[in-house]
Structure 1
Amino acid sequence: MPAGLVISAHAADFVWRAGGAIALHAAQGWRMVVVCLSLGERGESAKLWREPGMTLERVKANRRAEAEAAAHVLGAELRLMEHGDYPMRVPDDTILALADAIRELQPSFILSHAPGDPWNFDHELTRRVAQEAQIISQARGHNPGLAVAGPTPVLMYEPHQTEWAGWRPDVYLDIDAVFETKRRAFEQMGAQEWLWDYWTRAAAQRGNQAWLNGGRKIVHAEAYQRLFPQVATTLG
């Protein structure tokens, strides 16, 4: 069974930015695994913190339930870690565990954050962690004797404010077939309801760009930037 891996900073990032890719491949029989490094309990849960008497443990429980529900809608396996957020700190043991997960899955691609988000250090850290884990997964000296991973493509999904992040998409993914599924996943993330329409508009914008670049009508798309060069046998 082919597999794809998503490495997300917070419990909702994978839904907004890569939910279409997850649902599309899951519907085609792929094993899609999502790793969240944090529940996003401090900086990504403002709506919950406005409720009287809210506690950290209640916020974490809410975000955990939301992420599990969204992953179920998308057809993904979810692996939740709790490294905190604002600030996030990721130990070496987690990077090595991610490298082993890449070896376990042998994914055809990894999706994660883009560098250069000046408003969110957690996203930048997660991008570095994902890239480092991918590189370690190929090192024969890491856990010698275990099968190493190949040079897995890493595609960086859309940051919130692209103009300030230096992100430039070079892949558009048609998600028309699964957009309603992605939207249902949005609706599981009640703590960030204000982002539902934002990312719906983003999908429509990328769909228009995909239509212009692909020559066929596409209404909704996701956009990605490759971290490493693509190797091809033909340019046609």
Structure 2
Amino acid sequence: MSDNKTALVVSAHSADFVWRSGGAIALHAAQGWQVTVVCLSYGERGESAKLWRQPGMTLERVKAAREEEAKKAAEVLGVHDIQFWNLGDYPIELNNDSLFRLVDVYRAIHPKFVLTHSKKDIYNHDHPAVTDFAQNARITAQAHGHNPHQKVLGAPPVFLFEPHQPEQCDWKPDVLLDISSVWEKKRAAIECMAGQEHLWEYYTRVALQRGAQAARNSEKSIKYGEGYQSVFPHVVETLA
């Protein structure tokens, strides 16, 4: 798959990829990109309050509900490869076995870009743990001495998607993506996440705000946007 247009999204919990990068996923999927989404956790403890309020709820039922929601959202966005690793929640449990598993994913698909969490999130420590994990796996996948029979990874750019409260997380976007053409898909995917209905309108407002900022920094009419923070320098052949 190394010659194909591929992308990797490493999502701490089963809803994160929808709120934070659903527009980017839908936009690239519509252009023929193969997007792999890895959900490391279901968010079964800390992000499923609505489900836990139901009488007789169990941990396994919460996980099943979260997986079903995420699968529906992924289908709406055009994702054909979504993986659920069930690594626990609050706290997420990341060890070397799961690290090398993610390295294998990197080398299997050779993503042209990677999306994952902010480096800091004082409200959810799973998120920075996952971005460190994802970037450690990227480094290992670039190492010639790791499973030398495999083709090593190149240098895919990494973009950190928006945390819930960016000002408190020292997150500042330097990439604004126009998602106006796929907003209806993202909104439909958002509405698949029934367990967190209280966030539907919040992330609609975020998309409008980032869209307004994108329009202000371009010559385009943009209504909906997503913000990202790049990790590495962009290597370009022109500044135009």
| TM-score above 0.5 | yes
The answer for the alignment partner of 1:141 in structure 2 is 145
How far 1:214 sits from its partner (Å)? Answer: 1.1
Give the whole-Å Cα distance in 2 for the aligned partners of 1:8 and 1:92.
Answer: 18
The answer for the alignment partner of 2:233 in structure 1 is 229
1:124 aligns with 2:123: no
The answer for the alignment partner of 2:219 in structure 1 is 215
Q: Which amino acid aligns with 1:59?
A: V
The answer for the alignment partner of 1:4 in structure 2 is 7
Residue among 42, 46, 52 paired with 2:45 = 42
Q: Percent identity?
A: 55
Q: Which amino acid aligns with 1:40?
A: G
How far 1:122 sits from its partner (Å)? Answer: 0.5
How far 1:232 sits from its partner (Å)? Answer: 1.2
How far 1:231 sits from its partner (Å)? Answer: 1.0
How far 1:104 sits from its partner (Å)? Answer: 1.1
Q: Secondary structure at the match of 1:216?
A: coil
Could you tell me the TM-score, scaled by structure 2's length?
A: 0.97
Give the whole-Å Cα distance in 2 for the aligned partners of 1:169 and 1:147.
Answer: 32
Could you tell me the TM-score, scaled by structure 1's length?
A: 0.99
Unmatched runs of 5 consecutive residues or more in structure 2: none
How far 1:145 sits from its partner (Å)? Answer: 1.9
How far 1:116 sits from its partner (Å)? Answer: 1.1
Q: Secondary structure at the match of 1:24?
A: helix
Residue among 162, 171, 194 paired with 2:166 = 162
Alignment of 1:28-67 (within 5 A): 28-67=31-70
Q: Secondary structure at the match of 1:234?
A: coil
The answer for the alignment partner of 1:194 in structure 2 is 198
For the aligned residue pairs, the C-alpha RMSD in angstroms reads 0.7
How far 1:52 sits from its partner (Å)? Answer: 1.2
Q: Any idea what the Cα deviations from partners look like across 1:13-68, whole Å, max 9, x if unmatched?
A: 00000000000000111001100000010001000011111111111110011111
Residue among 183, 186, 208 paired with 1:182 = 186
The answer for the alignment partner of 1:74 in structure 2 is 77
The worse-fitting range, judged by mean Cα deviation, of 9-18 and 74-83 is: 74-83
Q: Which amino acid aligns with 1:81?
A: W
Runs of 4+ in structure 1 over 3 Å off: none
How far 1:99 sits from its partner (Å)? Answer: 1.2
Q: Any idea what the Cα deviations from partners look like across 1:189-208, whole Å, max 9, x if unmatched?
A: 00000011000000000000
The worse-fitting range, judged by mean Cα deviation, of 74-83 and 8-17 is: 74-83
Q: Secondary structure at the match of 2:72?
A: helix
Residue among 94, 98, 101 paired with 1:94 = 98
Q: Any idea what the Cα deviations from partners look like across 1:143-172, whole Å, max 9, x if unmatched?
A: 012100101100000000001111110001
Residue among 163, 170, 176 paired with 1:172 = 176
